[in-house]
Amino acid sequence: MACKASYVTQRIDAFRIMVTPFSLPEPSSTYLREERMSGPLCWSNPPTLNPSSGTGHVEKLGGLDSYVTGSPDSKLAVLLVSDIFGFEAPNLRKLADKVAAAGFFVVVPDFLNKDPYVPEDANRPLPVWIKDHGPDKAFEDAKPVLEALKSKGVSAIGAVGFCWGAKVVVELAKHALIQAAVLCHPSFVTVDDIKKVKVPISILGAEIDGMSPPELVTHFEEVLTANGVKSHVKIFPKVSHGWTVRYNGEDKAACKSAEEAHQDLLDWFLKHVKGVTLSAGVFLALHEDFRPAPLFALLSAIASPLLKRGETRMYMRSNLCE
């Protein structure tokens, strides 16, 4: 069930959050219990931002500072839309680098314009901060970024949004401005949004999540199936909102869940942006867009028997706990 009005009031124990002008799901009882125990999930375990993190670099793209990684000659791109903590989060950039290693040109724009949410700032709590950072504005800001990618020769684009960023990505999917979408522990996404999705979409939800509780994510799946939209919906057990990018690197179970989600989103983009997925425990794609590849011939020889056997999954090399 979603609450709609010129503003939405959500009560969570002592918290009273005013959000405008979009709608958000009502919190589940599971979420309320979790909130009492650990505090607001939406901003739990905030990252330590590092502007120099990642193997890529920052450049202007579509008018926004953007972390870019991967071959600029690739015709295939993936857009990562951050959560409320912004594009300098090390885990987010690490994921961008891994997706880039699969052959995509990856872009992580600063949709927050150097103004990520700071939980310690008592003068600017989330209800105040978010008034300056509505996902609707980020959706508009994303359009020049997509156009800039196309001007570079990119022919297909996927997008993944985390928490706040998922609302931005679902808007892109509703307007078919991308070829494929992934929503990770989405916030503010409604059933009405899902009804209007026009491209293949994967939704990765958490068992403990009041912004998108399991029952809502299941409803999303039912709507997508009824509408004939290609979709993949998965609820990860024993994880909380934000687990894909705000995991504890010293927690092996948390790393394993994050790695599984990363593999799922990579598979989705390989299938629906590139069109094929391969497996050999290595990053490999039989396509000119994935150059430079000095070991192309050797890897092709390794992959051919696997393809004949019908093994069509390519595995992401992840070492999140190292």
- In this model, does residue 60 exceed pLDDT 90? yes
Q: What is the pTM of this model?
A: 0.77
Q: What is the pLDDT of residue 279?
A: 36
Using pLDDT thresholds of 50, 70 and 90, give the confidence band for residue 43: low
Under the banding of pLDDT at 50, 70 and 90, the label for residue 46 is confident
The tens digit of pLDDT for each residue in 163-184 reads: 999 999 999 999 999 999 999 9
Question: Can you give the CATH number for the domain in which 58 is found?
Answer: 3.40.50.1820
Asked whether residue 301 is domain-assigned, the answer is no
Tell me how many domains the chain contains.
1
pLDDT-derived band of residue 315, with 50, 70 and 90 as boundaries? very low
Whether residue 122 is predicted with pLDDT greater than 80 in this model: the reply is yes
Residue 40: its pLDDT value, please?
Answer: 54
Q: Which of the two residues, 47 and 173, has the higher pLDDT score?
A: 173
Residue 160, pLDDT score: 98
- Establish if 155 belongs to a structural domain: yes
CB burial of residue 128 (10 Å; 0-12, 13-18, 19+) = exposed
φ/ψ (deg, to 5) at 170: -65, -30
Q: Measured on CA atoms in the order 180, 186, 188, 192, is the torsion positive or negative?
A: positive
14 pLDDT higher than 70: no
> Per the domain annotation, does 132 fall within a domain?
yes
Q: What is the mean pLDDT of residues 66-76?
A: 97
> Is residue 35, in this structure, part of any structural domain at all?
no
Closest Cα partner for 40 from 209, 186, 205? Answer: 209
- Give the pLDDT confidence score for residue 275 in this predicted structure: 81
Contacts by 213-220 with C-beta closer than 8 Å and gap 24+? 213/25, 213/27, 213/28, 213/30, 213/31, 215/28, 216/25, 216/28, 216/191, 219/191, 220/189, 220/191, 220/194
pLDDT in tens, 183-211: 999 999 999 999 999 999 999 999 999 88
Cα separation of 156 and 272, whole Å?
9
Q: Is 4's pLDDT higher than 80? A: no
Domain that holds residue 109: 42-276
* Assigned domain for 50 exists: yes
Tell whether 172 is covered by a domain. Answer: yes
For the chain, give the mean pLDDT.
80
Query: pLDDT by residue (tens digit) across 231-259?
Result: 999 999 999 999 999 988 888 998 999 99
Q: Alpha-carbon distance 143 to 138, whole Å?
A: 9
- Tell me, yes or no, whether 149 lies in a domain: yes
Per-residue model confidence as pLDDT tens digits over 264-302: 999 999 999 988 434 333 344 434 444 444 444 454 454
- Whether 92 is covered by a domain: the verdict is yes
pLDDT at 267: 97
- Which residue in this structure is represented by tokens 């979603």? 2
The pLDDT tens digits for 145-154 are 999 999 999 9
